[in-house]
Amino acid sequence: MRCIARYILITSLWISTGLFNAAAAQDAVFESNVLNVGLGEVPDTVDRSSPQSTLEALLDLAELQDFKSAAHLLNLSPVPVSEQAEKGPELAEKLYEIITRKVVIDWTDLIDRPDGMDANATTDGAVAGQARRSILLWVLIIDVRPYPIRLDRIQVGDTPPVWVFSQRSVANIEKLHAKFRPSRLEEALPGWTREIAFWHLMWWEVFGIPLMLVLAGLSGVLTHKALSRVADNARRSFRTEIVQSTRMPAMIFVMTTIIAGISAMFVFSGGVSTFISPFLALGYVLTTLVLVINVIDRIIDRLVDFDDVSLKSAQHDGRRSMATKISLARRILIVAIFVMGAGIVMTEANLFRTFGFSLLASAGALTLILGFAAREVLSNIMSSMQIALNQSARIGDKVLFKDHVCHVERINFTFVQLRVWTGVRLVVPVTEFVAETFENWTLQETNMKRLIEVKVAHTADVENLRQIFYDVIETVDAEELGDKDEHLVMVTDHDVFGQEVTFALSCADPNTSFVVSCDVREKLISRMQGLERTGVEVFPEAEPVEAV
């Protein structure tokens, strides 16, 4: 009895599920009283039973030039019944030209089932396991307005449902064809060039696309050379730098404009147009981005001359602050241009819908992926913004970072570029630079003390050494030294080897203080060596092993 009851239960569930799916499939239709009455009977060769069969029928009938039969694949409700027999074939032919010219068909979305249900779709999909009554093939844009091309499932009375191009799509055929029809230049080409060659490309595209790319490349090279000549003939160095910074963006702009002009004169097929539109958007975004980066970098270099930086006046202090603020504005502009440019390129490319990235298009998955991949980058960007806002380190500042005496040369998104006094560039991640303690020698006061520490014997006369120090100072350029009252000589430490004497040298310019202190140390030790040669003990006597 239990087996019989279980069998009855399973059978009932199976039947109820089947009836439910059948009801759902039955409801997934657009009901209509009439469909294309003016066209007469539908030929037996026209298969409209599924989305895939309808589109295949249009392509096959177009190759046979049988647009009279192809008219049955359209919902001609917008056309008066008396005009359907005449207008129907014309609209079918124009729709075929629109699809071959501007639509990239995603055959994986065109299910060969009457209910249009994708049984293999994942449960994450919005229409997974559901019967559909409308399928979007493509969206064409005219003056920022979208014009979708759809297939609808229509049922007239008790007859089986059929798939036809939607009423709205048919109503927009004339406008879309006027926009994307073959241009006059293309119509003037020989007939054989307009025949299909391969990959759904016409012969004029096979030969024209390489020629277009070569022409764009030559135009870009000529533009770069012309601007280089202008830069060489410029009388002022700043004009030369500005012209040089515009060479690359101008070259990209000219190349992009050439391709845009040619694509405006010819209507390329859908596969080519899919790549041309985002390519043009990317070209103009890159032009703007490179121009902003190059020009602002030239301005910063002009404000802060790292080969001859003088920080003695408030004017130069203001220049460092201004250069840092301009650098911050540069980063903000780059982020804004990148975000807007990425949106424009993705919009032009129809990226998510065209290439089936429906899973990535979901906000949750996309946020998680981008957040995980860019966490370090975003951390560095926020840290670089923090440095620019609190100005703990400005462009042009002299800093001591991990025993490296260097200038802050650039504050970029992800790294700080430091120029060591030896000329070596030190690239430090922004997060590390912010986390580490560093000395900023030019943050407030321009005067600073350099400490010269020398180990001398216990019997050395410090007063005599103090006089030697002051004598050495007299040989230094007075402009490089600070207040004379701030020069000090002190015994700061001692051990079994001797006493440590610290000579505090007051310097007027932090940028030159390191070199000045090295010069004073050299002269000081030389004078102390001379004093020791006279028999006066100055340096402690210690074996190398003991020193270690």
Instruction: Note the pLDDT tens digit of each residue in 405-430.
Output: 888 888 877 788 898 878 888 998 88
Nearest CA to 528 among 458, 454, 474?
A: 454
Higher pLDDT, 40 or 187: 40
Number of residues in the chain: 548
Q: Give the number of C-alpha atoms closer than 13 A to the C-alpha of residue 367, restricted to the C-beta side.
A: 3
Cα–Cα distances in angstroms (integers) from residue 533 to residues 334, 454, 500, 524, in the given order: 64, 18, 21, 14
5 token code pair: 């009851």
The string of DSSP letters for 391-423 reads: TSS-TT-EEEETTEEEEEEEE-SSEEEEEETTS
Q: What is the residue whose two structure tokens read 């109820």?
A: 16
Which long-range contacts does 119-122 make (Cβ < 8 Å, 24+ apart)? 122/359
If you ran DSSP here, which 8-state letter would residue 182 be given?
P
| Vertex 108: Cα angle to 104 and 111 (nearest 5) | 115
Residue-wise pLDDT tens digits, 203-221: 877 888 889 999 999 999 9
Mean pLDDT in residue range 391-404: 83
> In the structure, what pLDDT confidence band is assigned to residue 101 with cuts at 50, 70 and 90?
confident
- pLDDT tens-digit profile of 103-134? 877 777 778 888 877 655 544 444 555 788 88
**Alpha-carbon distances of 447 from 40, 343, 395, rounded to whole Å:** 98, 50, 19
Residue 73 has pLDDT above 90, yes or no: yes
Kindly tell me if the per-residue pLDDT of 78 is higher than 50: yes
Instruction: Kindly write down the DSSP assignment for every residue of 203-224, as one continuous string.
Output: HHHHHHHHHHHHHHHHHHHHHH
Share of the chain above pLDDT 70, in %: 80
Longest dimension (CA), the chain: 127
User: Which residue type, as a one-letter code, is found at position 436?
Assistant: E
Interhelix angle 375-390/314-349, rounded to 10 degrees, is: 150
